[in-house]
Amino acid sequence: MASEHKNLSVFSTENLPDISEKHFAILVAEWNSEVTDPLFSGAYQTLLRFGAKEEFIHVQTVPGSYELSYGAALAAQASHIDAVICIGCVIQGETRHNDYINNAVAHGLTQVSIQYNKPVIFGVLTPNTLQQALDRAGGKHGNKGDEAAITAIKMLGVSF
Ligand code: DLZ
């Protein structure tokens, strides 16, 4: 049976919804700030580029990526917030702390999104090395913060 299909590719920026009246929360983890700062800038500038109003972008830092879930829950339960973008970077260390943090954040953000019925975007890098992270925070692999913002915008256009 044929069905209508909307292209959700994160790399296509055609036919994005109007976001001029949408409010965004951006949460930024302070850990690995040399990575999360450019990720944040990418997300922020991308929202502006696609029509968000500066005064409708609400920014809050949290200590580490683990705290993104709680921050996202606070943002998502605020009635004026339409979408939440979470920025973090968890670099693999000598122990498995990164696995625990990454799993907890991925699970936590999914739960928040479903509980509050709002897009909550996982803009968390999970690299093996700092260089891999920098490559994805404005380096040779682009800026995943830009992609996080575009993902949030696209999700605001998803409806049934
Ligand atoms: C503790 C910790 C470690 C070891 N590594 C990172 C990291 O690479 N990236 C990150 O965002 N946060 C890290 N944290 C901090 C935790 O996310 C969290 O802030 C603490 O465990 C306190 O809950």
The tens place of each residue's pLDDT in the chain, 160 residues long, gives 444 555 444 578 899 999 999 999 999 999 999 999 999 999 999 999 999 999 999 999 999 999 999 999 999 999 999 999 999 999 998 888 889 999 999 999 999 999 999 999 999 999 999 999 999 999 999 999 999 999 999 999 999 9
Flag whether 103 is in a domain: yes
Annotated binding site for (2S)-2-hydroxy-3-oxobutyl phosphate: 94-95, 136
How far is ligand 1, taken at its centre, from the CA of residue 102, in Å? Answer: 10
- ipTM value: 0.99
Q: In angstroms, how far is the first alpha carbon of the chain from the final one?
A: 17
The pTM of the whole model exceeds 0.80: yes
Flag whether 105 is in a domain: yes
Flag whether 131 is in a domain: yes
Round to whole Å and give the CA distance between 145 and 134: 12
Structural domain count of the chain: 1
Range of the domain at 61: 24-156
Flag whether 17 is in a domain: no
Residue 97 designated active-site: yes
CB 39 within 8 A of CB 144: yes
Flag whether 56 is in a domain: yes
Structure tokens at 13: 């920026």
Atom of ligand 1 nearest to the CA of 124: 11
- CATH no. for residue 52? 3.40.50.960
Flag whether 14 is in a domain: no
